[in-house]
Amino acid sequence: MKKKSTMPTFDADTPITQGDIDTGKLVLRKRTAGRVILPKKRVTLYLDESIVDRFKEMAGDRGYQTLINETLKSSMHQADIAETLRQVIREELKGRKAA
């Protein structure tokens, strides 16, 4: 059985205040091409101090956690591209051996 939310719901007619946002009663989500961007999931992660310091230095005012998230996403995409490239090369090599 799923736990029911204890957070109050907001009607379309109810005005949203900055106080609602500040207290976490309301989460604003960005839209990209008509789709809502999925909310992030909170995790506890232990990183080397040097890594955190480096990302804080690189991020400046932007937020080092956002930069870490983008770096991890980039790494996932690079791994996908690398695997696709390996597959294409294998297929090309098979084609040459057959010819």
Q: Where are the domains of the chain?
A: 63-99
pTM assigned to the model? 0.50
- 7-45 burial, b at 16+ Cβ within 10 Å, e below that, comes to eeeeeeeeeeeeeeeeeeeeeeeeeeeeeeeeeeeeeee
Question: Which ranges of 1-99 would DSSP assign to H, the alpha helix?
Answer: 18-22, 49-59, 64-98
Over residues 19-67, the pLDDT tens digits come to 776 776 666 566 667 666 677 788 899 999 999 999 999 998 888 998 9
Stretch 65-72: mean pLDDT, rounded? 90
Smallest Cα–Cα separation from 54: which of 33, 31, 29, 71? 71
Stretch 70-79: mean pLDDT, rounded? 89
